[in-house]
């Protein structure tokens, strides 16, 4: 409704409001700390939470994963966090965590 009222004054209001809606959806997502003993399972349920909130930006998904890391896990991948790849950050961190910590599950 705000977009309709202000549309004549500022033609970019509609796109701004759409961006704000995506931001509001993103703000509402509060992920559980990553299940480092079962990273594959955690990453399997994550897309459902992202899709519900219409979060599809690779960078946003990456930041959500980073925010869900516990201290020990973050310390274990410090080099990656300091120097993430330029593209496909979400896929890269998912592959790294699944490879590094998913192996523990297979060793049991």
Average pLDDT taken over every residue of the chain: 78
Distance, in Å, from the CA atom of 85 to the CA atom of 96, rounded to the nearest integer, reads 12
Number of domains forming the structure of the chain: 2
| 13 and 51 share one domain | no
Domain of 6?
Answer: 1-29
| 36 and 24 share one domain | no
Average pLDDT over residues 30-46: 88
Q: How many whole angstroms from its chain centre is CA 14? A: 25
| 47 and 21 share one domain | no
| 77 and 95 share one domain | yes
- What is the sign of the dihedral through the CA atoms of 72, 38, 85 and 63? negative
Q: 70-93: string of b/e by CB count within 10 Å (b at 16+)?
A: eeebeebbeebeeebeeeebbeeb
| 47 and 9 share one domain | no
Q: State the pLDDT at residue 108.
A: 44
Angle ∠(73,30,88) on CA atoms, nearest 5: 60
Q: How confident is the model at residue 15 (pLDDT cuts 50, 70, 90)?
A: very low
pTM over 0.85: no
């Amino acid at each position: 409704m705000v977009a309709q009222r202000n549309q004549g004054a500022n033609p970019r209001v509609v796109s701004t409001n759409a961006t704000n809606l995506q931001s509001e959806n993103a703000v509402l997502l509060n992920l559980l700390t990553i299940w480092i003993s079962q990273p594959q399972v955690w990453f399997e349920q994550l897309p459902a939470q992202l899709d519900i909130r219409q979060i599809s930006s690779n960078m946003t998904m990456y930041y959500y994963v980073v925010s869900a890391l516990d201290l020990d896990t973050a310390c274990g991948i410090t080099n990656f966090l300091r120097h993430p790849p330029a593209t496909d950050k979400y896929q890269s961190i998912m592959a790294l965590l699944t490879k590094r910590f998913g192996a523990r599950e297979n060793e049991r």
